[in-house]
Structure 1
Amino acid sequence: MAISTLVIVILVILLIGAVPSWPHARSWGYGPSGLIGAALLVVILLALLGYF
Protein backbone atom coordinates (compact mmCIF):
# COMPACT_ATOMS: atom_id res chain seq x y z
CA MET A 1 0.00 0.00 0.00
CA ALA A 2 2.96 2.35 0.52
CA ILE A 3 3.91 2.40 -3.17
CA SER A 4 0.41 3.43 -4.24
CA THR A 5 0.42 6.26 -1.71
CA LEU A 6 3.78 7.42 -3.01
CA VAL A 7 2.57 7.35 -6.63
CA ILE A 8 -0.57 9.29 -5.71
CA VAL A 9 1.45 11.96 -3.89
CA ILE A 10 3.85 12.32 -6.82
CA LEU A 11 0.97 12.63 -9.30
CA VAL A 12 -0.76 15.26 -7.14
CA ILE A 13 2.46 17.30 -7.02
CA LEU A 14 2.84 17.00 -10.80
CA LEU A 15 -0.80 18.00 -11.28
CA ILE A 16 -0.32 21.12 -9.16
CA GLY A 17 2.83 22.01 -11.10
CA ALA A 18 1.12 21.58 -14.48
CA VAL A 19 -1.87 23.84 -13.77
CA PRO A 20 -1.97 26.48 -16.54
CA SER A 21 -2.24 29.39 -14.09
CA TRP A 22 1.44 29.08 -13.13
CA PRO A 23 3.76 31.32 -15.21
CA HIS A 24 5.99 28.44 -16.35
CA ALA A 25 2.99 26.42 -17.58
CA ARG A 26 0.84 29.18 -19.06
CA SER A 27 1.69 28.37 -22.68
CA TRP A 28 1.11 24.62 -22.23
CA GLY A 29 -2.69 24.83 -22.13
CA TYR A 30 -4.79 22.22 -20.37
CA GLY A 31 -3.21 19.16 -22.00
CA PRO A 32 -0.57 18.25 -19.42
CA SER A 33 -2.80 18.86 -16.41
CA GLY A 34 -5.58 16.84 -18.04
CA LEU A 35 -3.30 13.89 -18.74
CA ILE A 36 -1.82 13.94 -15.25
CA GLY A 37 -5.30 14.27 -13.76
CA ALA A 38 -6.50 11.26 -15.76
CA ALA A 39 -3.47 9.23 -14.65
CA LEU A 40 -4.15 10.26 -11.04
CA LEU A 41 -7.77 9.16 -11.37
CA VAL A 42 -6.74 5.76 -12.75
CA VAL A 43 -4.18 5.21 -9.98
CA ILE A 44 -6.69 6.18 -7.29
CA LEU A 45 -9.30 3.80 -8.74
CA LEU A 46 -6.79 0.96 -8.95
CA ALA A 47 -5.68 1.62 -5.38
CA LEU A 48 -9.27 1.61 -4.13
CA LEU A 49 -10.03 -1.63 -5.99
CA GLY A 50 -6.92 -3.27 -4.56
CA TYR A 51 -5.05 -3.81 -7.84
CA PHE A 52 -2.23 -1.44 -7.00
Structure 2
Amino acid sequence: MLEVIVLTLVILLLIGALPAWPRGRWWSYFPGGGLKWLTMMMLLLLLVGRV
Protein backbone atom coordinates (compact mmCIF):
# COMPACT_ATOMS: atom_id res chain seq x y z
CA MET A 1 0.00 0.00 0.00
CA LEU A 2 2.83 2.40 0.87
CA GLU A 3 4.51 1.68 -2.47
CA VAL A 4 1.37 2.74 -4.35
CA ILE A 5 1.14 6.00 -2.40
CA VAL A 6 4.82 6.81 -2.94
CA LEU A 7 4.65 5.96 -6.63
CA THR A 8 1.54 8.11 -7.09
CA LEU A 9 3.21 11.01 -5.30
CA VAL A 10 6.34 10.76 -7.44
CA ILE A 11 4.29 10.63 -10.66
CA LEU A 12 2.34 13.72 -9.60
CA LEU A 13 5.60 15.53 -8.82
CA LEU A 14 6.99 14.61 -12.25
CA ILE A 15 3.88 15.93 -13.97
CA GLY A 16 4.07 19.10 -11.90
CA ALA A 17 7.67 19.68 -12.98
CA LEU A 18 6.75 19.91 -16.66
CA PRO A 19 6.90 23.48 -17.95
CA ALA A 20 3.35 24.75 -18.43
CA TRP A 21 4.37 28.10 -19.90
CA PRO A 22 7.48 29.38 -21.74
CA ARG A 23 8.90 30.98 -18.58
CA GLY A 24 9.27 27.48 -17.09
CA ARG A 25 11.84 26.60 -19.75
CA TRP A 26 14.32 29.03 -18.18
CA TRP A 27 14.51 26.78 -15.13
CA SER A 28 16.87 24.50 -17.05
CA TYR A 29 17.28 21.03 -15.56
CA PHE A 30 16.64 21.87 -11.90
CA PRO A 31 13.02 20.74 -11.34
CA GLY A 32 12.99 17.87 -13.79
CA GLY A 33 16.49 16.66 -12.98
CA GLY A 34 15.86 16.69 -9.26
CA LEU A 35 12.60 14.81 -9.61
CA LYS A 36 14.15 12.26 -11.96
CA TRP A 37 16.88 11.66 -9.39
CA LEU A 38 14.26 11.27 -6.67
CA THR A 39 12.25 8.89 -8.85
CA MET A 40 15.28 6.75 -9.62
CA MET A 41 16.23 6.56 -5.94
CA MET A 42 12.68 5.62 -4.92
CA LEU A 43 12.50 2.93 -7.61
CA LEU A 44 15.86 1.57 -6.48
CA LEU A 45 14.68 1.45 -2.86
CA LEU A 46 11.43 -0.22 -3.91
CA LEU A 47 13.32 -2.86 -5.91
CA VAL A 48 15.74 -3.53 -3.06
CA GLY A 49 12.86 -3.75 -0.59
CA ARG A 50 13.83 -0.92 1.77
CA VAL A 51 10.53 0.97 1.41
TM-score bracket for this pair, using the shorter chain length: 0.7 to 0.9
Q: Which residue in the other structure is 2:3 paired with? A: 4
Q: Under a length normalisation based on structure 2, what TM-score does the superposition of the two structures give?
A: 0.76
RMSD after superposition: 1.6
Decide whether the 8 Å contact of 1:19 with 1:33 is kept in 2. Answer: yes
Unmatched runs of 5 consecutive residues or more in structure 1: none
Match of 1:46 in 2: 45
2:31 is matched with: 32
Unaligned runs of 5+ in 2: none
TM-score (norm 1): 0.75
Give percent identity, aligned residues only: 32
